[in-house]
Amino acid sequence: MVYIFQQSLNALQLGSIYALIALGYTMVYGILTMINFAHGDLFMVGAFFCFLIAVYLHLSFVPTLLLSMLGVAFLGIVIERLAYKPLRNAPRVSAIITALGVGLFLENFTLALSPYPKHIPQLLENITWTIGSFSISSLQILIIVLSLVLMLILDFIVQKTKAGMAMRAISWDKTIVPLMGVSVNKIISLTFAIGTGLGGAAGVMYGLAYPVIDPYMGIMVGWKAFICAVVGGIGNIRGAMIGGFILGGVEILVAAFLPSTYRDVVAFTLLLVLLIVRPYGILGKPQPQKV
Amino acid sequence: MSKLPNASHSSLIERWHMLTGSRLFWAIVMIAGLAFCMAASTYEFLDLYLQLILIYVGINIILTVSLNLINGYMGEFSVGHAGFMAVGAYVASLLTVHVFPPGAQNLLFPLAILAGGIGAALVGFLVAIPSFKTRGDYLAIVTLAFCMIVKSVLENIDAVGGPRGLLGMEKLTTLPWVFFWTALSVWVIRNLVYSNFGRGVLSIREDEIASDLMSVNTRQVKIIAFVVSSFFAGIAGGLFAHALQFINPRMFDILKSTDILIMVYLGGIASIAGSIIGAVIYTILLEVLRPLGVWRMVLMPLMLVLLMIYRPRGIMGLKEIRLFMPLRDLVTEKLWRQKKKEAPDASA
């Protein structure tokens, strides 16, 4: 019983990181119907920013987190302006390939600058409380609470503010919204900034939880977060959160009861089964087929 | 030799097209190519490094052309091509290493490659089934998940070496064999695309519901497209394993799929010539830029992004050079152009 609690805590920790990254995928998809495959690598850049700031500027945790988020958000806006904006009216696949290219560029550029894995210094004192055989660390609590807070803020922005209303409107109908006086470019930039900023925050937290970072760490985590976004129903923000926790839970449970090498097999097989049963994700709505 | 209609003034270009339209021309080109490859590998007037690059070019052409059938002609977005390649590579290598007697390796090599292709085709059949219901991004996820499942399953089977990989293959992939399989894959896929079946594939890309209503059996078309595509991916995998003489599951992960995707979209979708150009340019450019070290891997994606911005459809997107088009299509196109010239408004 205690073992199950222990593992659910780990699942919550991994799931909240997945969910934060999945949010970036789903927000960009909702507004541009484009899969930003560079998102996993922006997550990696977030972890590297965290490393740079912590090592060279010697800042404490909160400024490090904020600066990394800002840096990644800025990078996201620049990428959108330079690489994706010229392709807004191009065939969808070219945008996807461009995103793959941007992702490869980020990976290899980081690799060229830092060929060896880096070790993020401990920014916070990690206290572990043990109750019987159940142990919980302050870092775990921090990651879970911080992600939940970030998700609540995001949900508030999207549901309650004017900018969020514009975002939802654009994902509803792209042609009418500009006629209502909404600056589409600004809203898209804002979406990218928020989405990639959350990815950057996830990078920082991942770096704190698993301190060895390398330029290719974003690939696998990124694809898995993408799967979370799809499981929840891509384009649906609450779906992405649910998807993140589901995949995190499944992965940890498989690793707990089976040899850990089976983790990916079981996780992806479950995904396939889910997609065959519900091809549009958990919270996604089936698209009406127009003839 | 068949004749183009309206060929009263046979210019040099038209004569060239009549020549390339004949079966004899292709037979001669194929035999010449095969002879060149055999001579190159027997007498070694190309050094081994150049031969290896040509082998990789050939393998990449097979991969690109076969992926283009699904991603270009059928308009789906499959990212699992490396998974099919892995199945082919493992099946073929297991046969040559453990099953076939050591003396007869050279003779049985094509059988091993064929078996690899068939193994991959069977798996491709399984992947085609979810494609009936799921489309677009969701199908992309299915293929992605498939690619990752193949990799993790291979990592968990100790009999094939697990994460350490499999070695012990002889260097059986030679230039003539690569030429043969490349020519075969280009020939098969080109003929498929311009057959009745190919029209079905194109109609699925344009509008699946409409093509269903026009009595295209979309399920059958999807199954055949996936099976053929994965068959050739498996063949490429077998050739790859016996060129490198060592495989491990990590070689066939999502990065390999990304490589193939880049070659397809660099060359341009729905174009045989584009696939060949894309594979050749990408493979050779990677080799030429080798002195740059890590920076070549920075430069390549940058070039890809620039290409996509200034030429979103790739080099040959949706276009075909006349060499690969059947006479029927050339005539139709010519008549269409003439009609357009006579009455520009009517055709629009």
- Answer yes or no: do B294 and A108 touch at CB < 8 A: yes
Tell me: the pLDDT tens digits for A124-141?
878 888 887 788 888 888
Q: Is the ipTM of this complex over 0.85?
A: no
Longest dimension (CA), chain B: 70
Strands A212-213 and A134-137: what pairing?
A: unpaired
Residues of B in contact with A219 (CB under 8 A): 254-255
What per-residue confidence (pLDDT) applies to B348?
43
Chain B residue with Cα closest to A29: B137
Chain A residue with Cα closest to B269: A93
- Residues in B lying within 8 Å of A, measured between beta carbons: 71, 77, 130, 133-134, 137-138, 140-142, 144-146, 148-149, 151-153, 155-156, 209-210, 254-255, 258, 261-262, 265, 269, 294-295, 297-298, 300-302, 304-305, 308-309, 312-313
Alpha-carbon gap: A188 to the closest alpha carbon of chain B (Å):
19
Tell me: the pLDDT tens digits for A93-114?
788 888 988 999 999 999 998 8
**Residue B134 in 3-state DSSP?**
coil
What's the average model confidence in pLDDT over B117-136?
87
Residues of B in contact with A223 (CB under 8 A): 144, 148, 254
Is it the case that residue B179 has pLDDT exceeding 50? yes
Rounded to whole angstroms, what are the CA distances from B129 to B132, B143, B227? 6, 11, 11
Q: Which site among A113, A234, A268 would you substitute to test the B interface, given the most B Cβ atoms closer than 10 Å to its Cβ?
A: A268
Ordered structural domains, chain A, with CATH: 2-277 (1.10.3470)
Rounded distance between C-alpha atoms, residue A154 and residue A201, angstroms: 13
Is it the case that residue B197 has pLDDT exceeding 70? yes
Calculate the dihedral angle through the C-alpha atoms of A273, A275, A279, A284, rounding to the nearest 10 degrees: 120
Residues of B in contact with A91 (CB under 8 A): 312-313
Burial classification of residue A144, based on how many CB atoms lie within 10 Å of its CB (0-12 exposed, 13-18 middle, 19 or more buried):
middle
Q: Domain B14-341 - what CATH class?
A: mainly alpha
Banded model confidence at residue A145, pLDDT cuts 50, 70, 90: very high
Banded model confidence at residue A291, pLDDT cuts 50, 70, 90: low
Banded model confidence at residue A288, pLDDT cuts 50, 70, 90: low
Alpha-carbon gap: B156 to the closest alpha carbon of chain A (Å):
7
Banded model confidence at residue B347, pLDDT cuts 50, 70, 90: very low
Is it the case that residue B1 has pLDDT exceeding 50? no
Banded model confidence at residue A191, pLDDT cuts 50, 70, 90: very high
Burial classification of residue B92, based on how many CB atoms lie within 10 Å of its CB (0-12 exposed, 13-18 middle, 19 or more buried):
buried
| Threshold 0.90, pTM exceeds | no
Which phi and psi (to 5°) does residue B43 adopt?
-95, -5
Greater confidence, A2 or A119? A119
Tell me: the pLDDT tens digits for B59-77?
999 999 999 999 989 988 8
Banded model confidence at residue A160, pLDDT cuts 50, 70, 90: very high
Lowest mean pLDDT among A88-92, B193-197, B257-261: A88-92
Report the half-sphere exposure of B317 (CA within 13 A, side-chain side): 16
Rounded to 10 deg, the angle between the B23-43 and B175-193 helix axes is 160
Greater confidence, B12 or B90? B90
Is it the case that residue B37 has pLDDT exceeding 80? yes
A102–chain B Cβ distance below 8 A for any pair: yes
Is it the case that residue A289 has pLDDT exceeding 70? no
Q: Which span out of A130-139, B7-16, B121-130 was modeled with the highest average pLDDT?
A: B121-130
> 3-state secondary structure string, B208-276?
HHHHHHCCCCHHHHHHHHHHHHHHHHHHHHHHHHHHHCEECHHHHCHHHHHHHHHHHHHHCCCCHHHHH
Q: Give me the percent of chain B exceeding a pLDDT of 70.
A: 95
Tell me: the pLDDT tens digits for B234-276?
999 999 999 999 999 988 988 888 889 889 988 888 899 999 9
Nearest to A94 among B151, B155, B313 (CB): B313
Residues of B in contact with A109 (CB under 8 A): 298
A272–chain B Cβ distance below 8 A for any pair: yes
Rounded distance between C-alpha atoms, residue A189 and residue A88, angstroms: 13
Residues of A in contact with B304 (CB under 8 A): 97-98, 101, 104
Q: Which site among A220, A223, A236, A262 would you substitute to test the B interface, given the most B Cβ atoms closer than 10 Å to its Cβ?
A: A223
Residues of A in contact with B294 (CB under 8 A): 108, 111-112, 115
A258–chain B Cβ distance below 8 A for any pair: no
Question: How many residues make up chain B in this entry?
Answer: 348
What's the average model confidence in pLDDT over A187-210?
92
Residues of B in contact with A279 (CB under 8 A): 133-134, 138
What's the average model confidence in pLDDT over B115-129?
93
What's the average model confidence in pLDDT over B275-290?
91
Nearest to B265 among A93, A227, A280 (CB): A93
Residues of B in contact with A289 (CB under 8 A): 209
What's the average model confidence in pLDDT over A39-45?
94
Token pair 């050339």 in the structure block, residue: B330
Greater confidence, B10 or A89? A89
